[in-house]
Amino acid sequence: MNTIKRLHPGFVGACLLLVVGCGSQNVAPPVFTDGRTIVVIEDTAGIPMPEELDFLRLSHHLDNFYMRQARLGLDPTPAEPALDVNRFGYVPDSSWYANRTSDLTAAQVGQGPGGDDPGPEAFLPWEVTGMKVGGRNPGFIFQDSRGVRYICKFDKADAPIIATAAGVISNRLLWAAGYLVPDDRVVYFDPDALRIADGASAKNELGHKRALTNRDIDELLAALPQARHGDRVRALVSRFLDGRPIGGFAYTGTREDDINDTIVHERRRSLRGLRVFGAWLQHVDQKIDNTLDLYVGEPGNGHILHYLVDFDGCLGGYWAARHEKRIGYTYDVDLGEIVSGIPTLGLLSRPYERLGEPEHPHVGLFTADRYDPSDWSPNYVNDYLHACNPADAFWAGRILAKITDEMIDNAVAAARFPDTSAETVMKRVLRERRDLTTAWGLSAVSPAVGLANAPVARDGLWIEARDALAETGLPSGLTWTIEVLDRNGEQVATPTENAASPAVSVAPDMLSDHAYLVIRWTAIGTDGRDLPPTEAHYAHRDDRWRLIGILRDGE
């Protein structure tokens, strides 16, 4: 199979639109044109320095909880197919996403994006250069003795360990899944190792600055008894990223001052897949100001990288701040829940109302009990999460299936739980939720994989297709209907029904009059329901049949 290393994003939409169409049984399938497989989107052309976009919290929340929720809730139109995909349905590498999961060791996942850098604990003392006084999330900015800058945050009141652990674990697992994230880590430090930098300032909630003093630091730490562990203080630190922050990225559309941003965000599979990873990690706080566009390179000739940031609200972290069992089940302001509750006069029982208390005080209310990834909800109405369709969920499920137990264990170890029983609970819940989420994602479509023609088949077709659920070790019980079609959608062979395996063999004499074929798999669940189909397209090239494209769920 020919591949091309890079392709400018301006060509991507055109290439992908050639293969978009309907895969239903009574309609001729779309035809793939000749072309090479896109594995990297070149979206780093030099651009002028963009303006920084402000996050206006009040207007965002008003729009999000009312206008956007009503608009998306009342629109029955299925989401259009994703556009940041190649002919096999995979997301190429870009400034948004990196296909790294299969290449990582468990030890690398434990290290996270910082690699083997020892972190700031190895470079004392720390100079505090600024801090925020008061508010719900106090913290400070410091630089270690190397001059590397970090922002430092702490656990929530009356909830030690939970948020700092959640932040570092989720950071590593999202990085392992392919996303750009900063170097976050849990640290323990002696307050005597802090120094006030020359010119350091403190800022109150109104944005007013004044000179920072040692008293400010003492008062800050005195107000954080949950962060104290003997003579040391526990914190979550995030290394400053190289480049200039220019705000977060929007739920929809593209950034007007970035010529590289050519695919509307709600049609990016890499972003839609965050619906799946978000459910797994209880990443409910997916809003614009928890994303970051970073301008890197020489001013006037740099480009933008797109990061996810701030993960201390994942897992049990948001619960630690709010102590509400509804988190992960409803929007912060959920019009549907409000309306559905009116006729029952409060007598309707919600699933989350039957949740118990946290299994461990250092984990928070993060559980696989009553967890259904299909019903999971973030706190905010997010267009690209809302647009996640079965094909997007399947892609994310394939990535999630590569996150091994050992990767999870190493990510959890980075949280530095002082209590090993909390570590045990966290590992188990992450594994249980991973398996439930993976099974949901992989069964969103007919999960036939391994669709290339076997090397032994030259004039005929022998597709050693496999069931992705069974391959991952998850319960399946699927049976298969398999059709072989020509480019006009006409049957070439009698369909195979109720097959135990998705493997396919088509004799050469049945194919002699064809140069283009489509094999369509429809899996039937144990409940008798047909899953959306998977289609593999083959062209006869150089005396053998070659796989040239895959469509799932009628893309």
pLDDT, tens digit (0-9, with 9 covering 90-100), for 286-299 = 999 999 999 999 99
Within 8 A by CB and 6+ apart from 67, the residues are none
Which CATH code for domain 448-552?
2.60.40
pLDDT in tens, 215-255: 999 999 999 999 999 999 999 999 999 999 999 999 999 99
Q: Which residue has the tokens 């480049």?
A: 243
- Confidence check: pLDDT of 108 > 60: yes
pLDDT for the residue numbered 5: 32
What gap in Å lies between CA 431 and CA 474, rounded to an integer? 12
pLDDT for the residue numbered 509: 83
Closest CA to 515 of 487, 549, 482: 487
Helix (H) or strand (E) holding 473: none
Query: What sign does the dihedral 525-528-532-533 (CA atoms) show?
Result: positive
254-260: long-range contacts at Cβ-Cβ below 8 A with a sequence spacing of 24 or more? 255/50, 255/293, 255/304, 257/47, 257/48, 257/50, 257/51, 258/47, 258/50, 258/304, 259/45, 259/47, 260/9, 260/43, 260/44, 260/45, 260/47, 260/95, 260/303, 260/304
- Confidence check: pLDDT of 314 > 50: yes
Reported as a pLDDT band with limits 50, 70 and 90, residue 136 is: low
What are the residue boundaries of the structural domains of the chain, listed by start?
Answer: 43-444, 448-552
Tokens of 110: 């434990």
Q: How far lies 332's CA from each of 284, 287, 481, 521, in Å?
A: 10, 12, 43, 40
pLDDT for the residue numbered 337: 76
Helix (H) or strand (E) holding 479: strand 479-486
Burial zone of 527 (CB within 10 Å; 0-12 exposed, 13-18 middle, 19+ buried): exposed
What gap in Å lies between CA 525 and CA 439, rounded to an integer? 13
pLDDT for the residue numbered 458: 67
Q: Across residues 349-371, what is the average pLDDT?
A: 91
Q: What is the dihedral of CA 535, 540, 543, 545, to 10 degrees?
A: 0
| pTM of the model as a whole | 0.91
Helices (H) and strands (E) in the chain, counts: 15, 22
